[in-house]
Amino acid sequence: MSEYRIEKDSMGELQVPESAAYGAQTQRAVNNFPISGITMPVSFIQALGLVKQACANANHDLGSLGENHRRAISSICDDVIDGKLMEHFPLDVFQTGSATSTNMNANEVIARLASQQAGDAIHPNDHVNMSQSSNDVIPTTIHVSVALSCHQQLVPAMNHLISVIDKKASSLEHIVKTGRTHLMDAMPVSLGQELSGWSAQLSAALSHIERTLPALHQLAIGGTAVGTGINAAPSFGDLVAVQLSNSTGLTFKSASNRFAALSSQDAAVALSGQLKTLATSLMKISNDLRWMNSGPLAGIGEIALPALQPGSSIMPGKVNPVIPEATAMVCAQVIGNDATITIAGQSGNFQLNVMLPLVAYNLLQSIEILSNSSRLLADKAIQGFTVNEDNINAALSKNPILVTALNTEIGYELGAKIAKAAYAEGRAVIDVAEEMSDLSRKQLEKLLDPKELI
């Protein structure tokens, strides 16, 4: 048996692997773009299956596609949606900027397999791509895949992380520690207060993300080649949006202006910006955890993160803060992805954006790695860290900045002298203040009580 078969398209004939479900146009793209070996994300291809299925159903409702063809196309789309056919989607992310190659990849795979199932010829362009263009299918698929990923992955992961932080903060309200500004000793805070700041940051980031999602529910489908809707019924886009809403549980609508929907990726750029903000917050939280965990003897040593794995190939017994480190790297990647998506968003030349595969890949990657790292940060770092109260109390008792609480009684100048003396002598502020001020021990105990200062 030959390892190849001959397929043809409008440009002529070429060899296609016998086992491949795709055809000539996909093979041309395989030949033309051996660039990175990075294929389109699984979630994008699954969403493309949803879009193709919705289009087939809409065309059937309009009387343009027979029931036998609709049923067969829909059945194969189910396999695409379930991720069963990924080996037939080999194309590189770095391809034609409209992702026409990926659209035709889907059309060819669905048409070939649906033809076998229906016992009838189903054409990739005339049937599977009916009433569509790559120029509206791919922007639509970006929105559908990203909206689903946010609703199914990111939002639940963020809510979980916030919940874990809030629970941990509540359990640590009674522990007072030295606050730090500029990495230097400052007035005290409770650990609960410190963690409440993390929760507030993440809650704000989540709120901003959720406010961008309605724009992603607006779909380009029905605009076809340039936004005018050539070769599609006027109601086609609305019907597809209804079909997608029914199949996903999200509320999709046809875009109010399809020229903008084809030529811009503003909704994707806006979401990416909010993901960058979330990454910034997670970077701050990860670095706080790393500092608090530092040591355990020569660092701050306020907490001990769960020991997950040996930390060194040469130093026995070393354990590192691996989850915060991994999260920080995720944040760096997401911030870089945002720069890429911003540049891609500027590439809407006249009626079409021509960096669509890049937008899809980077945005879906950002959502996936933020979702996964947020759950890991919650479950393998924050939930299980323990507190070293002895270290915290020892540092707090000698914190010279506590003298700030005496400002209204003794003034800034004398307070500064007491703080410097306490630091130089390694003594508690209360002892030095008792010697250098007119305040009684009882007054000082009340004024310098760390629990009262928070």
DSSP string for 266-278: HHHHHHHHHHHHH
39 shares a domain with 107? yes
Separation in Å, CA 402 to CA 173, 179, 420, 427, 445: 19, 10, 12, 12, 11
384 shares a domain with 405? no
The total of other beta-carbon atoms located within 10 Å of residue 68's CB is 14
Which range marks the domain in which residue 50 is found?
19-130
Query: What's at 52, amino acid-wise?
Result: K
| Contact (Cβ atoms closer than 8 angstroms) between residue 307 and residue 319 | yes
Helix/strand/coil for 202:
helix
Report yes or no on 2 lying in a domain: no
The Cα 136–Cα 149 span in angstroms is 20
Number of folded domains that form the chain: 3
Give the CATH number of the domain where residue 172 resides: 1.20.200.10
126 shares a domain with 191? no
Report yes or no on 325 lying in a domain: yes
What mean pLDDT do residues 122-151 have? 98
Q: Quick one: pLDDT at residue 1?
A: 52
117 shares a domain with 266? no
271 shares a domain with 301? yes
> What global pTM score does this model have?
0.96
Q: Quick one: pLDDT at residue 398?
A: 87
Q: Considering 335, 362, 388, which residue would you say is the last residue of a domain?
A: 388
What mean pLDDT do residues 437-451 have? 95
What mean pLDDT do residues 211-226 have? 98
To the nearest whole percent, how much of the chain has pLDDT over 70? 100
Which residues have a catalytic role annotated? 182, 312
DSSP assignment string, 115-166: HHHHTS---IIIIITTT--HHHHHHHHHHHHHHHHIIIIIHHHHHHHHHHHH
Per the document, the length of the chain is: 454
- 281-310 tens-digit pLDDT: 999 999 999 999 999 999 999 999 999 999
Maximum pairwise Cα distance, the chain: 101
Question: What does pLDDT average to over the chain?
Answer: 97
What mean pLDDT do residues 404-415 have? 96
- 341-395 tens-digit pLDDT: 999 999 999 999 999 999 999 999 999 999 999 999 999 999 999 999 999 999 9
Strand 352-353 to strand 348-349: parallel, antiparallel, or no bridges (unpaired)? antiparallel
What mean pLDDT do residues 189-206 have? 98
- Nearest residue to 341 (alpha-carbon basis) of 367, 323, 318: 367
331 shares a domain with 412? no
Report yes or no on 232 lying in a domain: no
Q: Quick one: pLDDT at residue 397?
A: 86
- The band of 447, judged by pLDDT with boundaries at 50, 70 and 90, is very high
For 120, residues 6+ apart whose C-beta sits below 8 A from its C-beta are 68, 69, 72
The total of other beta-carbon atoms located within 10 Å of residue 12's CB is 8
Query: What's at 287, amino acid-wise?
Result: N
195 shares a domain with 266? yes
The DSSP bridge partners found for residue 353 are 348
